[in-house]
Structure 1
Amino acid sequence: MKWFKRLLIAFFSLTLLGIGAIAAAYYYVLPELPDVNTLKTVKLQTPLRIYSQDGLLISQFGEKRRVPIEYEDVPKQLINAVLDTEDARFFEHHGIDPIGIIRAAVILITTGKKSQGASTITQQVARGFFLSNEKTYIRKIKEIFLALKIEKALTKQEILTLYLNRSFLGNRAYGVGAAAQVYYGKELKQLTLPEMAMIAGLPQAPSAANPIRNQRRAMTRRNWVLSRMLEKRNITQAQYEQAKQAPITARYHGAEIDLYAPYISEMARDYMIQKYGKEAAYTNGYNVYTTISSDLQRKAQKALRNNVFAYDQRHGYRGAKQVLWTDKPFTSEQIKSALKDSPVIQGITPAAVVAVHEKSADFITKNGDLITVPWSGLKWARKYISDTRQGRPPKQASEILNIGEQTWVRNNGKEWQLSQIPQVSSATVSLNPHDGAIETLVGGFSFNQSQFNRITQAKRQLGSNIKPFIYAGAIEKGYTLATLINNAPINKPDTRQGTAWRPKNSPDVYGGPTRLRVGLAQSINVMSVRTLRYVGINDTIKGLTRFGFEEDDLPRNESLALGSPSVTPLQVARAFNTFANGGYLVDPYYISSITDSYGNVIEKASPTIACKPNPEPTATSPTVDSNDPFAAMSQELSAIESDSSHLVDTTTEQAESSQTSHFCQADETNIAPQVITEQTAFLITQALKSVIWGGGNWSKGTGWNGTAWRAARLIKRHDIAGKTGTTNESRDTWFSGFNPTITSTFWVGFDDHNRQLGRTGWLADGPEGQISGAEAGAKTAGPGWNHFINEALKGTKEYPSIPPQGIVSARIDLTTGKLTRKTDYTTSFEYFVDGTQPTEYTNEAPETDEIFIDNSDEDLFQ
């Protein structure tokens, strides 16, 4: 009894001492314990995501991969796997597990080692959010008290959800949602039992035991998790045996990118960092929705890539990168090893030549694949001598390749062909004419090669792309499309540059007095210079700044008329947009909206709109959808076609009936400034259609081509307009064009401003429609634009050409530009701003009394 009393006293004493120690420890750490209620509103660090306008993921930025999930989204078997492995009594204890603590203490006393953990999932949440990972007793005490407080503040489901989202699971994956994507490229609901077990086993050793770095250790850990699930009767013996035999299928999966558009994603990333700071941008889970159309972006990328390939191939083959062997052939493994560090760029794959036949060659690629390139994929490879010279066309494969050489191949969608890394650069951008939304943006041939964004950062000489803006100024000062401008050599030089500058045509031929429409369509240099002289240098520069060009970029001399200013492709597209939308300068933008990690909109674009303020409604006012700035066209065309009595000799009735102006809705307050009149925009557009379609009568021998006649052969629709552009010595080439729904600019040149694009000779047995001679806007940049626009507009309706109010048409003599009463092939209808139409007739006998007629539903020069 005496010993029993002593033991009882000792027990109570120790109990009181323990309670006192716990109380003392609690009050000791209490000031350092954080408020666990913050877990209710905790922000998980999630990456920045960039999307297209239609919701496709373009890019993801941030050190931590995390896909936040809700408790209801987690498969039951994955929860079982986690609990059976980490905390089997999770739903029974209140934050700490006494049994686990006692077990860990016994092991510590008997072995002297901390080999057995005693932390519950709640304790791990406390440690993960509030404490460090240092193994100290004071940290453990804090962890225990925090766990108890967390259990009172949150439900079990909330605690487990935090744990499943927070845990580091290797390879930058945080949380089970990210782990499912990183290791298996799946969503949680798609995981198999062995995959769930693999993920559940990762928290204890996420780096050392993950299935990518150490498959053997990962399998051992996975099978132990399966055994725990079997022990807890959450799987059957048959499920256990089947899952245990499953192979390791994990491999690294990057972010599931739906649309590869690196230049626009880099622009969005930079904006977010500038606006919110790097840490917040990368961790707060922002979602940036750009204005990029995924369909158009893919088409623009393909058109640019194929256009660059075409330029590069017609200039010849520059030879192998290096020789891998000369005597003893490499094995497939040696070839793979030698090529492993050579990147694949835009589908151009490093490969080694292993056999050369008469009309074909065999290669082994860096992946170890054996491929054969037929003669159709080799015959282009005449020797590159310089940018202006190529060797003779090859007659057999041995003239091109030698066994043991490292070169490149690519699959063009039909077959393999010999290739090489292009040295030329290119860029393209497309805008919505109504509000300036950037719908496509490709800043270069390869982002991996160069992250330099040529759309926004490269200022290149504009060349003849400037001419429509020069002529627009002249039209607003009284010129018409029928005005005759002398196409003759300029004898009086411009000396503002310090030297005598005499512009010449390209080619150096002259045709005498020529109508403005023809001069712009054929890009006649001396006519552009004479037009600038008519407008004046100061007024020309003032006019160009209205289109968004910077005054500092505009030289005060006559070279301005031929495109000496250096501007970015985005500035060019913005300027051409004014012709497409009726004269409004809309600001380009590329971010539509930004949401936070909870889907709340924190920023929304408020773009400028190309429209007129809405007038007071009347009973007869037509309703026009502000989202379609050209909806009025079809209404007006229907009105004209339904009443043939419109063909009268008056101008006022015609102008009033063909009003195409569109008005803003009442809530549209960001109205873009109108920098030129609708009438000027319409007339320049008509001339730019002639750039593509030409004019005259071919059957009578009077037909003529515009500089972009290749576009007409491919696209075959009459609502497109555009302008070529070539600088001196072909250092920069452009094509900019539009229809009422899209404006697009293509640029091609070398990043080295001193390097010319050169010229090519005709290749016998070359591709259909091959290009030869000097490189120029029509031949170098034009084909890229042609193929893009052809694909972009495929299946869309063709818009009619409806003049705005104040435009009239009159039949003119094509030689003199004067009025005529003849109706044969020497005449045609021309559009004029009302009041500028000619009043003088040619010297001829009249054939009709009708001089001015409504021709609004008829395209000119068809």
Structure 2
Amino acid sequence: MLIAYILVKDQLPSVASLKTIQWQTPMQIYSSDGKLMNQFGEKKRIPLKLNEMPQQLIDAILATEDDRFYLHFGVDPIGMGRAVLGQIIGQNKGGASTITMQVARNFFLTREQTYIRKLREIFTAFHIESLLTKDEILELYMNKIELGHRSFGFGAAAQVYYNKEVKDLTLAQIAVLAGLPKAPSTLNPLRSPTRALQRRAVVLKRMLDSGYITTSQYQEANNAPITAKKHGAEIELNAPYVAEMAHQEMIERYGKEQAYTGGYKVYTTTPSKLQVAARNSVMKNIFSYDQRHGYRGAIKNLRSLAGNSQDENSNVDPLTPAEISQALSHVLLYENLEAAVVTQVLENTIEITLKDHEVAMIEWDNMSWAREYINDERQGAAPKTPAEILNYADVIYVENTKNGYKLSQLPDVSSALVSISPDNGAILALVGGFSFYQSQFNRVTQAKRQVGSNIKPFLYSAALEHGFTLATLVNDTPINQWDQSSGTVWRPKNSPEQYNGEIRVKRALAQSKNVVAVRLFRDVGINNVIPHMASFGFSLDDLPRNESLALGSASFSPLEVVTGFATFANGGFLIKPYLIERIEDSFGNIIFQANPEIACEDCDQINNMENSSADINLPFYQNTPQSNHGNIAIQAVDTDTIAKAPTIKKAKRVISAQNAFLMTEALNEAIWGADWSITPGWNGTGFRARTLNRRDIAGKTGTTNEAKDAWFSGFSRHIVTTSWIGFDDHSRNLGQTTSNSNLGKEQITGKEFGAKSAQPAWIDFMEVALKDQPIKPFEQPQNIVSIRIDKKTGKLTNRTDNTSLFEYFTLGTEPTEYVSRDISNEIFNQDKSDTVKDIF
């Protein structure tokens, strides 16, 4: 033995690393409230301490793999002798490897069948036994061993095969897992239930012989059925776009190999409640848009549209169960859609067969929407019978709703929604498209689309910085400008094409007047407008240097747009969106804590106060260097300073508090502004948001030329949300719809634009987001005054009737001239004995 040791000692590995082993465990992405979004990494492992493993599992391993584990010194002479004897007489007397030797092989050696490798295994086992306790060795073994289906260790195997924690396994299930180390690929209960059953019997018999279980326990477990099924990680929150963003950031931060094997737990800024609300809102809006534009037909027909019905007198061959199953197995499913085959077309209903041969009915109310799709601008007549919609043997998509199965289809249109905190940029909800599994293209961060009238608040903000007020009159009349370079006349138009002559700035924004935006652009000047817009975080390269910018020809991502609007909500600060709040290692230690810049006027003063974090109720912050991944701020952390007192970083102020407040008031007018005392009366373009019954919201619609993109961006004091809808195919516009006589009064008809196409998702989401939040008016900053003005002229007035209103001004910009009122009509109608008094 000494000679053998001398021969191989230089080839022996150092086993000291076992003292500080870091398990290769997958990366897990969580919501801010701890809901698992996704798991990344090939190896599934859930490291456990030995005292976290049930005693019956430990007993099963010892009885099966090494019943003298606690008696030998790493090599079992009895087992070794038994194995050698078996080789000599040609009989299998069992393996010679102890648990310690298996640890040596699994961590340091290969599985090659040579005597030299076996010698290295033996001497490595001696070294391990001299370094570690028996419990430490057993713990390493039970966490390292491969158990099939990419599961390593018994914690992961319990989840993969039974979707349980090890402490919840039955004796029968424990015995199945304990039998896997011998041959995990062939003995696992998913691939070969029969062989797993036989191996389980061996494990149970050894446990019985070793005195670990009683005869009754043995019999009960031995008679139990094999119950294993394959389970993935228990995904608790469907947020694939959020998870993928965090996944990519982790790869950039740590590299792919370390990110996938380091066992990191990544906690995002996204609460599950808001993420669910965002997904539901986007799905509802996509299906609503898609279905009002008509039904594009079945996926295919298994009888080539041979007839509308199938009965005993029909020439159509009846569908077989096997044919239906095969057809359904080839249909790709996304989100809430299920596949079905039409098996009967009846007078008012349709019978369908789903997977597993389940039969269900689609009632008329759940299919009457399905008039024919002609193109994005036209739909066919409303159907009167199911036979006008579907045929026997059609393969279709359906949704299982609370009102029963509903005919559906895979939407053509795309959409996105993103919501952030204006206080620090935390991403609160994000949906990058209809289905991540259909398209991994994240339209929140990767799609730059023309923003249309969503650009106007930033232009109007520039106007307030250059001599305009909310009461300034601007000429709302058509523009005709000859473009000598192109030889054409540029005629920007309002939508709808209504013009009001002189109109106040605030009302012009509320009604989204295009020609007023162009006139403001001209008056402020391109050299003032573009730098001002860039201060909201927009790239100068994305801001065209021509007047089309005033109408939204610039292309931004929804994340860039929502970031810009956050500046109005937080009082004038530019924040940086971020997604990862903290990262924990496999032992639960925090190795990264986000340290975002805060929209905070008094940050410097707060930093000088004791216990400042408690005073302002902020998470733990630490000053750190930063880099950028797209539009997401990535902050590093110095783990050596993790225990130091927080230092709050102040976001950059880019507009004054007064400008932000006045713009917020103007955007509130876009929702709540209206005047029906005049002819024609008017509403703000975002008036549909009044259904939220909150005055503490503000927002702006946006529709591009030819309605290829529709937007709504809006906010309360503590949440900012942008909704977008459009086609990935830039050549398609959102079109228009006519009324479907089968549907009620609530249906959306006419041309598609921001308020009809994008705002419904915003409203549905904000209804959930604001439900438990108290109404919080936007705070009026210093040097803002409120003065009664004449609605028509914007001048001062003493009248208190419907010709006047209160308006906000930055101190020093308020009007000084009173309106001169035309009283000729009053003079004509009054009694001749009356005298005219108090003419203004």
Q: What is the TM-score normalised by the length of structure 1?
A: 0.89
User: Which range is displaced more, 758-767 or 683-692?
Assistant: 758-767
Aligned counterpart for 1:119 among listed residues 97, 110, 122: 97
Aligned match of 2:190 in 176, 200, 212? 212
- 2:749: which partner in 1? 772
Partner residue, 2:629: none
Residue 801 of structure 1 deviates from its aligned partner by: 3.7
| In structure 2, C-alpha distance between the alignment counterparts of 1:720 and 1:203, rounded to whole Å | 61
1:558 corresponds, among 547, 564, 568, to 547
Is 1:53 paired with 2:32? yes
What CA distance in whole angstroms lies between the structure 1 residues aligned with 2:648 and 2:82? 71
Alpha-carbon deviations, 1:556-590, whole Å to 9, x = none? 11100000001111100000000000010001111
What CA deviation, in whole Å up to 9, does each residue of 1:408-439 have, x standing for no partner? 10023332100000010001111101000111
Aligned residue for 1:28?
Answer: 7
Give me the whole-angstrom Cα distance separating, in 1, the residues matched to 2:401 and 2:701.
Answer: 28
- 1:366 matched to 2:334: no
Letter paired with 1:381: A
Q: 1:290 pairs with 252, 268, 272, which one?
A: 268
Question: How far apart, CA to CA, are the structure 2 residues paired with 1:302 and 1:494?
Answer: 47
Rounded to whole Å, the distance in 2 between the matches of 1:167 and 1:624 is 46
Is 2:191 aligned against 1:202? no
Counterparts of 1:440-459 in structure 2, within 5 Å, are 440-459=429-448
Q: 1:796 aligns with which of 769, 773, 776?
A: 773
Matched residue pairs, number?
785
Q: Within the alignment, does 1:727 sit opposite 2:704 as a pair?
A: yes
Residue of structure 1 aligned with 2:467, choices 452, 473, 478: 478
Contact (CA 8 Å) 2:511, 2:670: kept in 1 or not?
A: yes
Q: Structure 1 residues 75 and 518 mapped into 2: Cα distance closer, same or farther (>3 Å)?
A: same
What do the CA deviations read for 1:680-707 (whole angstroms, capped 9, x no partner)? Answer: 11111111111111233x4787852111
Equivalent residue number for residue 249 of structure 2: 271
Contact 1:719 1:739 (C-alpha < 8 Å) held by counterparts = yes
Compute the displacement of 1:499 (Å). 4.3
Residue 719 of structure 2 aligns with an amino acid whose one-letter code is I
- Conserved? CA contact 1:821–1:845, under 8 Å: no
Q: Deviations over 1:661-695 (max 9, x none)?
A: xxxx9954421111111111111111111111123
Find the counterpart in structure 1 of residue 87 from structure 2.
Answer: 108
Cα offset, 1:599, TM superposition: 2.0
**Displacement of 1:710:** 1.2
- The one-letter code sitting in structure 1 at the alignment partner of 2:442 is N
User: Is the alpha carbon distance of 1:728 and 1:115 closer, same or farther for their aligned partners in structure 2, counting shifts above 3 Å?
Assistant: farther
Match of 2:762 in 1: 785
How far apart are the structure 2 equivalents of 1:202 and 1:711? 60
2:217, 2:681 → 1: CA distance? 80
* CA contact 1:734–1:745 (8 Å) conserved in 2: yes
Residue 381 of structure 2 is aligned to residue 392 of structure 1: yes
Between the aligned partners of 1:513 and 1:424, the Cα distance in structure 2 is 39
The answer to whether residue 174 in structure 2 is matched with residue 184 in structure 1 is no
Verify the 8 A CA contact 1:351 1:408 in the aligned structure 2.
Answer: yes
Give me the whole-angstrom Cα distance separating, in 2, the residues matched to 1:283 and 1:671: 36
**The residue matched to 1:500 in structure 2 has which SS?**
strand
Contact 2:603 2:648 in 1 (8 A): no
State whether structure 2 residue 410 is matched by structure 1 residue 421. Answer: yes
Q: Give the conservation status (yes or no) of the 8 Å contact 2:382–2:742.
A: no
Q: What residue number does 2:735 align with?
A: 758
What amino acid does structure 2 have at the position aligned with 1:91? Y
> Residues 694-729 of structure 1: CA distance to partner in whole angstroms, max 9, x if unpaired?
233x478785211111111x2111111110000011
In the alignment, the residues of structure 2 paired with residue 415 and residue 498 of structure 1 have an alpha-carbon distance, to the nearest angstrom, of 59
Structure 1, residues 33-59: CA drift from partner, whole Å, max 9, x if none? Answer: 112221111111111111111122111
Instruction: Give the whole-Å Cα distance in 1 for the aligned partners of 2:547 and 2:614.
Output: 43
| Deviation at residue 731 of structure 1 after TM alignment | 0.4
Which amino acid counterpart does residue 352 of structure 1 have in structure 2? Answer: V
| Residue in 2 that maps onto 1:851 | none
Quote how far apart the aligned CAs of 1:69 are: 0.3
Q: Which of 640, 653, 664 is the matching residue for 1:685? A: 664
2:586 is aligned to: 597
Q: Match of 1:831?
A: 808
TM-score normalised over the length of structure 2: 0.91
For residue 764 of structure 2, what is the amino acid of its counterpart? H
Listed as ranges, the gaps of 5+ residues in structure 2 are 307-315, 620-643, 824-840
CA distance in 2, matches of 1:251, 1:332: 25
Provide the residue aligned with 2:649 in structure 1: 670
Displacement of 1:625 in angstroms is: 4.9
Measure, in 1, the Cα distance between the counterparts of 2:358 and 2:603. Answer: 64
Please state whether the residue corresponding to 2:496 is helix, strand or coil. coil
User: Is the contact between residue 85 and residue 93 of structure 2 (CA under 8 Å) also seen in structure 1?
Assistant: no
- Matched with 1:90 is 69
Cα contact 1:96–1:148 (8 A) shared by 2: yes
Q: What displacement does 1:278 show?
A: 1.2
Cα distance in 2 between the residues matched to 1:426 and 1:322: 26
Following superposition of structure 1 onto structure 2, how do residues 616-627 of structure 1 map, counting pairs within 5 Å? 625-627=615-617
CA distance in 1, matches of 2:735, 2:777: 39
Deviations 1:373-421 (A, max 9, x none): 1111100000000011000000110100011010110023332100000
**Cα 1:628/1:735, change in 2 over 3 Å:** farther
The residue that corresponds to 2:799 in the other structure is: 822
> 1: CA distance between counterparts of 2:45 and 2:613?
48
2:722 paired residue among 716, 736, 745:
745
Paired position in structure 2 for 1:650: none
> For residues 615 and 198 of structure 1, what CA distance do their matches in structure 2 show?
62
Q: Does the residue aligned with 2:219 lie in a helix, a strand or coil? A: helix
Distance 2:221 2:322 in 1: 34
Pair 1:428–1:410, CA change in 2 (3 A) = same
CA positional deviation for 1:612 = 1.8
State the match for 1:852 in structure 2: none
Tell me what 1:81 maps to: 60
- TM-superposed CA distance for 1:601, in Å, is 2.1
Question: Following the alignment from structure 1 to structure 2, what is the Cα–Cα distance between the partners of residues 797 and 497?
Answer: 54
Amino acid at match of 1:104: A
CA shift at 1:350, angstroms?
Answer: 1.1
Given that 1:49 and 1:288 are in contact with CA atoms closer than 8 Å, whether structure 2 keeps it comes out as yes
After superposition, residues 564-603 of structure 1 pair within 5 angstroms as 564-603=553-592
> Who is 1:402 aligned against?
391
Q: C-alpha separation between the residues in 1 aligned to 2:483 and 2:220?
A: 87
Q: For structure 1, which segment, 826-835 or 357-366, has the greater mean C-alpha deviation from structure 2 after superposition? A: 357-366
Distance 1:525 1:289 in 2: 44
Structure 1 unaligned runs (5+)? 1-21, 630-664, 847-862
SS of the counterpart of 1:208? helix
- Give the match for residue 502 of structure 1: 491
Partners of 1:628 and 1:615 in 2: CA distance: 15
Q: RMSD in angstroms over aligned alpha carbons? A: 2.1
For the residues of structure 2 that align with 1:40 and 1:769, how far apart are their CA atoms? 68
Q: Is the 8 A contact 2:74 2:129 kept in 1?
A: yes
**How far does residue 734 in structure 1 lie from its aligned partner after superposition?**
0.4
Instruction: Decide whether the 8 Å contact of 1:694 with 1:703 is kept in 2.
Output: no
Cα gap change, 1:175 to 1:666, in 2 (>3 Å): closer
CA-to-partner distance for each residue in 1:327-355, whole Å, 9 max, x for gaps? 22223333122211322211111110011
Secondary structure of the structure 1 residue equivalent to 2:597: coil
In the alignment, what sits opposite 2:293? 315
Alpha-carbon offset, residue 244 of structure 1: 1.2
User: Which residue of structure 1 aligns with residue 47 of structure 2?
Assistant: 68
Q: 8 Å contact 1:695–1:703 — kept in the other structure?
A: yes
AA matched with 1:788: F
CA shift, 1:468, in A, is 0.4
- Is residue 434–residue 628 contact of structure 1 (8 Å, CA) maintained in 2? no
Q: Distance in 2 between matches of 1:610 and 1:86?
A: 61
1:286 deviation in Å?
1.5
Post-superposition CA distance 1:56-103 (Å, at most 9, x none): 211111110000000000001111111111111111111111111111
2:637 aligned residue: none
Corresponding residue SS for 1:372: strand
Q: CA deviation at 1:152?
A: 1.4
* CA shift for structure 1 position 627: 4.3
Report if the CA contact (8 A) 1:50-1:265 is conserved: yes
| Among candidates 414, 422, 426, match of residue 437 of structure 1 | 426
Residue equivalent to 2:313: none
1:11-31: CA deviations, max 9, x gaps? xxxxxxxxxxx1111011111
Aligned twin of 1:253: 231
Aligned-pair CA distance for 1:266: 1.1
Q: Which residue of 1 aligns with 2:340?
A: 351
